[in-house]
Amino acid sequence: MSKEENLSDSQGRTDHDRLFKELLSTFFEEFMALFFPDAYEAIDFEHTSFLSEELFTDILKGEKRRVDLLVETHLRGEESLIIIHVEPQSYEQTSFHDRMFIYFSRLYEKYRRRILPIAIFSYDKVKEEPDTLHISFPFFNVMTFQFLKVELRRKNWRDYIQQDNPIAAALLSKMGYTPEERVEVKKEFLRMLVRLEQDPARMTLLTGFFETYLQLSEEEEQHLRMELQKLDPNEEGRIMELTTSWHEKGRREGKQEGRQEGRQEGKREAVHVLLQAKFGDAAKALHEDIQKLTKDEYIDELLLKVTIAPSLQEVKDFIQDKVSKQTKDKRLQ
């Protein structure tokens, strides 16, 4: 078993999972519309809620596995609830379809509802992943389990640049493109941002996700600036107002401490904007406590918590817990 497959030893994969969960929980409806239009037409998105994470233990292997995203909703015209399970997969695993079935079985055992399983493959290798598990005998077919899938590297990024869909914009960074196309992919991403006109918090989320997976070199940034100058002046001007690339570049040239504080402040600002949008003026009472968070990991988790939390009190409890842990960690140093 590789470290990446072990939940307790896979910080890189954990960060990846957090990014995808944050993106999908914010733009879940757009995700379904983009990749699964038939399911999108059938689902009632007005009655959608996100369930808490499920943690399962593999008794034979002694490993803990976390189900990444669970959505509770129902189909249009129906009263009974269904569960949608979305599992981002950032590395190759030969037995992944087995794992999806185990998740399905455990979730069905707990909820006893219809479950729609979906996998998102985001690793760099281009390959076709199996999406079916058969259990049969020569004389009898016991079971056929199947899940929906998105294989991002098998998607041609050019097929999605005309979509006015925020999920499409962010996931351009994980789709199939050549090294020579990197600048063009970034340019089209910025053009999509202009058309989407998202609020500041969502714009921060989309840009942060994209640049996590596709960050241009200084030479590529210069090339990008030249390409932007070829656009209509109005479009170029709007792109320059929206993009954070130039600010990130300036912070990269500063001291590490300044870079870290700049990133943290940007994330805190995104938290404030999203809190205000969801809970109104009552969210201002959390401003001081939010500023106390200084660990990147906790700020990232807070941004996700604000996105999916059903109440302001749940956000407040989360912040107090993280501030307490942060204080305790400092005492132990």
**Cβ proximity of 26 and 202 under 8 Å:** yes
CA gap 258, 91 in Å, rounded: 33
pLDDT band at 172 (very low <50, low <70, confident <90, very high): very high
Q: Is residue 185 part of a domain?
A: no
Average pLDDT over residues 64-77: 85
Average pLDDT over residues 163-168: 96
pLDDT band at 88 (very low <50, low <70, confident <90, very high): very high
Q: Over pLDDT 90: what percentage of the chain?
A: 45
Q: How many CB atoms lie within 10 A of CB 38?
A: 9
Query: Cα dihedral sign for 31, 7, 105, 100?
Result: positive
| Residue 227 clears pLDDT 90, i.e. is over it | yes
Return the top range by mean pLDDT from 44-53, 55-64, 251-260.
44-53
| Residue 298 clears pLDDT 90, i.e. is over it | no
| Residue 197 clears pLDDT 60, i.e. is over it | yes
Q: Is residue 324 part of a domain?
A: yes
Q: What is the DSSP string of 50-117?
A: EPPPEEEEETTTTEEEEE-EEEEEEETT--SEEEEEEEEE-S--TTHHHHHHHHHHHHHHHH-SEEEE
Question: Which of 131, 154, 177 marks a domain boundary?
Answer: 154
Q: Which amino acid is at 127?
A: K
Average pLDDT over residues 99-118: 94
Average pLDDT over residues 237-249: 62
CA gap 281, 195 in Å, rounded: 29
Helix (H) or strand (E) holding 120, with range, is: strand 114-121
| Residue 257 clears pLDDT 70, i.e. is over it | no
CA gap 185, 58 in Å, rounded: 41
Which runs of consecutive H residues, i.e. helices, occur in 112-199?
166-171, 182-196
Give me the helix-helix angle, 218-228 and 245-252, nearest 10°: 150
pLDDT band at 271 (very low <50, low <70, confident <90, very high): confident
Q: Is residue 51 part of a domain?
A: yes
Q: Is residue 309 part of a domain?
A: yes
Predicted local distance difference test score (pLDDT) of residue 4:
37
Predicted local distance difference test score (pLDDT) of residue 200:
79
pLDDT band at 14 (very low <50, low <70, confident <90, very high): very low
CA gap 251, 257 in Å, rounded: 10
CA gap 45, 279 in Å, rounded: 20
Q: Which residue, among 67, 63, 73, has the nearest Cα to 52 in the 3D structure? A: 67
Question: Which of 154, 170, 197 marks a domain boundary?
Answer: 154
Predicted local distance difference test score (pLDDT) of residue 282:
83
Assigned token pair, 230? 């070829």
Q: Give the count of domains, the chain.
A: 2
Question: Which of 133, 154, 175 marks a domain boundary?
Answer: 154
Predicted local distance difference test score (pLDDT) of residue 96:
92
| Residue 173 clears pLDDT 90, i.e. is over it | yes
| Residue 62 clears pLDDT 70, i.e. is over it | no
Predicted local distance difference test score (pLDDT) of residue 35:
98
Top-confidence residue, 323 or 144: 144
| Residue 211 clears pLDDT 90, i.e. is over it | no
Predicted local distance difference test score (pLDDT) of residue 269:
76
Task: Mark 50-65 as b/e (b = at least 16 C-beta within 10 Å).
Answer: bbeebebeeeeeeeeb
Predicted local distance difference test score (pLDDT) of residue 250:
43
Average pLDDT over residues 166-173: 97
Predicted local distance difference test score (pLDDT) of residue 57:
62
Average pLDDT over residues 136-157: 97
Q: Is residue 291 part of a domain?
A: yes
**Cβ proximity of 153 and 189 under 8 Å:** no
Task: Point out the least confidently predicted range of 99-103, 142-146, 234-238, 264-268.
Answer: 264-268
Assigned token pair, 210? 């994209």
DSSP one-letter code for 181: G
Considering the domain architecture, whether residues 144 and 278 belong to the same structural domain is answered as: no
Predicted local distance difference test score (pLDDT) of residue 236:
84
CA gap 131, 98 in Å, rounded: 10
| Residue 184 clears pLDDT 80, i.e. is over it | yes
Helix or strand or coil: residue 187?
A: helix
**Cβ proximity of 40 and 107 under 8 Å:** no
CA gap 237, 229 in Å, rounded: 9
Q: Is residue 32 part of a domain?
A: yes
Predicted local distance difference test score (pLDDT) of residue 63:
61
Q: Is residue 164 part of a domain?
A: no
CA gap 185, 183 in Å, rounded: 5
Region for 165 from its dihedrals, namely left if φ exceeds 0, alpha if ψ lies in -120 to 50, beta otherwise? beta
Residues written for the chain: 333
Considering the domain architecture, whether residues 7 and 142 belong to the same structural domain is answered as: yes
Residue 316: give the domain boundaries.
274-330
Q: What is the DSSP string of 223-249?
A: HHHHHHTTS-HHHHHHHHHH--HHHHH
Predicted local distance difference test score (pLDDT) of residue 219:
92
Dihedrals φ, ψ of 82, to 5°?
-130, 165
| Residue 242 clears pLDDT 80, i.e. is over it | no
Q: Is residue 301 part of a domain?
A: yes
